[in-house]
């Protein structure tokens, strides 16, 4: 869809507002072109001594009243039109946000956060201006131009109008050349702003790392360079926009010179009155606005086109995971994977290969293995963040893609490796999935996650603001808040993706004990614990050892120790490491 089709569709949806603005603009244009004609008539009457003082004052008051009417009509159409145009920005931002929320992790691997933020702000602002200011100026300028030209040709003198229009084709050629340069410059300006935005976002997010490594000056130098590039790109676009004014000025100067030359000749030979020449000169002056409006409209349209060319691919980008399921709720039942395989794009070695497992309601599954063995990818398959390329995944006898994404993910509580907290209070972060939860429920979940004692030591307790991404909390505290959030959600399947890596072994033991108590209290609730610490899966009903994306060992803790494979070797090593730390 082109920008013009987007705006046309939006105008059709909000036609009452645009129609009302058009009516008021028509009134403005009509009154505006009436004034010079009336002024010419007054001058001729004064020159012929046919107007009394009383009539003159009446005419002047009439002109003043018309000016006041034009003022209020201009205010009215601006409010009406811009109120509608701002809705386009709201619509596009909502559509953009919804699309981004639906995209999977693979989409974001190829995107920059700062660029996406620039699209949601600067680019959509440019499109909004094209739908508001450009539409407004375009309609107003076109209507004024047609009415003024009509009056000049039919109401004053067609000879003056014909000669005055001679320079205008040259101005049109200049406008065409300038607008093409503005489109290129605007595209570059938007890209430069996105790069600057991305650098600021990364710098603010990683400010602790920059300070720790002493990279503040280098980061500041990079910012200065990017800011300079963005400023130069914006200045280039502004320079080309400024080129419209000389083109208009030269055209109108040439038209005025031609008009005065011919008009003076006609007046000298009594073929034209002074009042008519005055009216024509005033009408020629009124052409300044339509000409400037044309340049302004072209500038806004080119900026909007450049922005739309950046935004549209994001809005039309296919979803990484399709949401075509029809089942709106997950019923308790076995979770089963059969010969599941998955390979990431650009990778020759599959992340998962021939994975078979079955998890009954109430059971706990442990996933262990070296780094890069496929534990996280397996959990992503269950969350439908990735779709298996081979094999099948079912829950309660139904394929995972038969459920709506909302239903599937509403049935799962997930704690990822990198816990994310929102810039809100600790209580709000814990109650994210259940905002209606009582304080008692929140505190109960915090106790189960072994974070309650830490929270009450803060001056504001549960009302403590954690800052962006939980920056005011330690890594272990963030993980435990995230676990509390998952436990409060109380869904049928709990996924812990190395969610205990930042806590000490004593805290880990207490949390696992609480999870075991929860399982006994709610026997239909299942859990899958992926961890590099084998102590986290000791009590699991089944433990899978993943190596190179394949299941190399499976069984209970005791069975795996008796087989004396990778699991047993790693268990002895971790036990020795723990004993040395205790000593």
Higher-confidence residue of 243 and 406: namely 406
Band of pLDDT at residue 546, cut at 50, 70 and 90: very high
Q: How far is CA 122 from the centre of its chain?
A: 10
Listed in order, the ranges of the chain carrying CATH 1.20.1560.10 are 3-316
Q: What percent of the chain has pLDDT over 90?
A: 4
Whether 147 shows a pLDDT value over 80: the answer reads no
Pairing of strands 550-555, 398-399: unpaired
CB 457 within 8 A of CB 386: no
Burial class (CB in 10 A: 0-12, 13-18, 19+), 118: buried
Those residues with Cβ within 8 angstroms of residue 519's Cβ, 6 or more apart along the chain or in another chain: 362, 364, 525, 527
Compute the average pLDDT of residues 429-450.
Answer: 87
Q: What is the pLDDT of residue 263?
A: 67
pLDDT tens digit sequence for 65-83: 888 888 888 787 777 777 7
Those residues with Cβ within 8 angstroms of residue 303's Cβ, 6 or more apart along the chain or in another chain: 126, 129, 130, 182, 186, 237
Q: What is the DSSP string of 315-353?
A: HHPPPSS-----B--PPS--EEEEEEEE--TT-SS-SEE
Q: DSSP strand E in 327-436: where?
A: 335-342, 352-359, 364-368, 390-395, 398-399, 412-415
Give the tokens for residue 159: 């000879």
Compute the average pLDDT of residues 277-285.
Answer: 66
> From CA 486, how far away is CA 449, in angstroms rounded?
10
Window from 246-260, 340-354, 428-442, 482-496 with minimum mean pLDDT: 246-260
pTM: 0.68
> From CA 368, how far away is CA 498, in angstroms rounded?
10
Q: Is 93 helix (H, G, I), strand (E, B) or coil?
A: helix
The highest-confidence range among 265-269, 475-479, 512-516, 545-549, by mean pLDDT, is 545-549
Q: What is the pLDDT of residue 184?
A: 80
pLDDT tens digit sequence for 318-335: 877 777 888 888 888 889
Whether 446 shows a pLDDT value over 60: the answer reads yes
> From CA 556, how far away is CA 47, in angstroms rounded?
112
Window from 86-95, 130-139, 430-439 with minimum mean pLDDT: 130-139
Looking at domain 3-316, its CATH architecture is Up-down Bundle (1.20)
Band of pLDDT at residue 272, cut at 50, 70 and 90: low
Match 């503005």 to its residue by tokens.
Answer: 182
Q: What is the pLDDT of residue 279?
A: 65
Those residues with Cβ within 8 angstroms of residue 495's Cβ, 6 or more apart along the chain or in another chain: 379, 382, 383, 412, 413, 414, 415, 527, 528, 530
> From CA 544, how far away is CA 554, in angstroms rounded?
5
> From CA 303, how far away is CA 240, in angstroms rounded?
12
What sign for the dihedral angle of Cα 249, 253, 259, 263? positive
Compute the average pLDDT of residues 552-565.
Answer: 90
pLDDT tens digit sequence for 8-48: 787 777 778 777 877 887 787 777 777 766 776 777 677 77
Q: What is the pLDDT of residue 304?
A: 83
Listed in order, the ranges of the chain carrying CATH 3.40.50.300 are 322-411+491-583, 419-488
The highest-confidence range among 143-147, 169-173, 454-458, by mean pLDDT, is 454-458
Whether 349 shows a pLDDT value over 60: the answer reads yes
Whether 564 shows a pLDDT value over 70: the answer reads yes
Give the tokens for residue 139: 């309609």
> From CA 44, how far away is CA 542, in angstroms rounded?
104
Band of pLDDT at residue 312, cut at 50, 70 and 90: confident
Whether 299 shows a pLDDT value over 80: the answer reads no
Rounded mean pLDDT of the chain?
Answer: 80
Pairing of strands 526-530, 542-547: unpaired
CB 560 within 8 A of CB 543: yes
Pairing of strands 335-342, 493-497: unpaired
Window from 41-50, 88-97, 490-499 with minimum mean pLDDT: 41-50
Higher-confidence residue of 576 and 104: namely 576
Give the tokens for residue 549: 């994306």
Q: What is the pLDDT of residue 278?
A: 65
Window from 57-66, 226-235, 241-250 with minimum mean pLDDT: 241-250
Give the tokens for residue 448: 């189960």
Compute the average pLDDT of residues 448-458.
Answer: 87
Band of pLDDT at residue 229, cut at 50, 70 and 90: confident
pLDDT tens digit sequence for 161-203: 667 677 777 777 777 777 777 778 877 887 888 788 777 777 7
Window from 117-121, 282-286, 556-560 with minimum mean pLDDT: 282-286
Please give the class, per CATH, of domain 419-488. Answer: alpha beta
Give the tokens for residue 510: 């207490």
Compute the average pLDDT of residues 82-98.
Answer: 82
Higher-confidence residue of 443 and 104: namely 443
> From CA 286, how far away is CA 54, in angstroms rounded?
29
Q: What is the pLDDT of residue 155?
A: 60
Higher-confidence residue of 299 and 492: namely 492
CATH number corresponding to 322-411+491-583: 3.40.50.300
Q: What is the pLDDT of residue 152?
A: 66
Helix (H) or strand (E) holding 579: helix 566-582
Kindly report the number of other CB atoms within 10 A of residue 296's CB atom.
Answer: 19
Whether 583 shows a pLDDT value over 60: the answer reads no
Whether 1 shows a pLDDT value over 70: the answer reads no
Whether 282 shows a pLDDT value over 70: the answer reads no
Q: What is the pLDDT of residue 383?
A: 87
Band of pLDDT at residue 285, cut at 50, 70 and 90: low
């Amino acid at each position: 869809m082109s920008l013009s089709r987007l705006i046309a569709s939006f105008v059709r949806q909000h036609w009452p507002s645009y129609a009302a603005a058009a009516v008021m603009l028509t009134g403005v244009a009509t009154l505006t072109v009436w004034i010079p004609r009336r002024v010419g008539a007054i001058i001729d009457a004064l020159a012929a001594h046919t107007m009394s003082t009383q009539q003159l004052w009446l005419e002047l008051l009439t002109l003043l009243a018309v000016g006041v009417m034009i003022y209020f009509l201009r205010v009215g159409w601006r409010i009406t039109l811009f109120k509608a145009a701002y809705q386009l920005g709201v619509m596009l931002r909502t559509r953009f946000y919804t699309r981004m929320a639906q995209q999977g992790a693979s989409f974001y691997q190829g995107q920059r956060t700062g660029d996406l933020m620039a699209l949601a702000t600067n680019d959509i602002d440019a499109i909004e201006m094209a739908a508001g200011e450009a539409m407004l100026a375009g309609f107003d300028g076109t209507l004024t131009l047609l009415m003024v030209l009509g009056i000049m040709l039919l109401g004053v003198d067609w000879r003056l109008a014909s000669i005055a229009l001679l320079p205008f084709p040259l101005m049109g050629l200049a406008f065409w050349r300038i607008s093409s340069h503005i489109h290129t410059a605007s595209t570059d300006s938007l890209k430069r702003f996105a790069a600057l935005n991305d650098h600021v976002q990364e710098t603010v997010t990683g400010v602790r790392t920059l300070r720790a490594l002493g990279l503040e000056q280098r980061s500041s130098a990079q910012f200065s360079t990017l800011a300079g590039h963005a400023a130069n790109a914006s200045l280039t676009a502004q320079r080309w926009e400024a080129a419209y004014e000389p083109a208009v000025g030269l055209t109108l100067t040439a038209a005025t010179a031609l008009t005065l030359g011919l008009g003076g000749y006609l007046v000298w030979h009594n073929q034209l009155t002074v009042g008519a020449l005055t009216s024509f000169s005033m009408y020629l002056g009124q052409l300044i606005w339509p000409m400037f409006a044309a340049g302004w409209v072209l500038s806004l349209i080119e900026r909007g086109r450049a922005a739309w060319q950046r935004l549209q691919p994001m809005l039309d980008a296919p979803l990484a995971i399709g949401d075509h399921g029809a089942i709106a709720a997950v019923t308790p039942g076995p979770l089963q994977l059969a010969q599941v395989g998955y390979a990431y794009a650009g990778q020759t070695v599959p992340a998962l290969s021939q994975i078979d497992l079955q998890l009954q309601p109430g059971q706990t599954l442990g996933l262990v293995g070296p780094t890069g063995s496929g534990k996280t990818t397996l959990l992503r398959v269950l969350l439908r963040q990735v779709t298996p390329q081979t094999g099948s995944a079912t829950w309660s006898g139904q394929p995972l893609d038969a459920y709506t994404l909302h239903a599937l993910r509403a049935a799962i509580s997930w704690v990822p490796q990198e816990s994310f907290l929102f810039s809100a209070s600790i209580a709000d972060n814990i109650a994210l999935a259940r905002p209606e939860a009582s304080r008692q429920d929140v505190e109960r979940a915090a106790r189960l996650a072994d974070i309650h004692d830490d929270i009450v030591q803060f001056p504001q307790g549960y009302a403590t603001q954690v800052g962006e991404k939980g920056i005011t909390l330690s890594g272990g505290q963030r993980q435990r808040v995230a676990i509390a959030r998952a436990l409060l959600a109380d869904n049928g399947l709990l996924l812990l993706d190395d969610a205990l890596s930042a806590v000490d072994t004593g805290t880990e033991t207490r949390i696992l004990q609480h999870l075991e108590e929860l399982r006994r209290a709610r026997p239909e609730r299942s859990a899958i614990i992926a961890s590099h610490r084998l102590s986290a899966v000791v009590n699991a009903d089944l433990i899978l050892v993943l190596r190179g994306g394949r299941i190399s060992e499976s069984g209970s803790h005791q069975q795996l120790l008796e087989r004396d494979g990778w699991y047993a070797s790693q268990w002895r090593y971790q036990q020795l490491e723990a004993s040395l730390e205790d000593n």
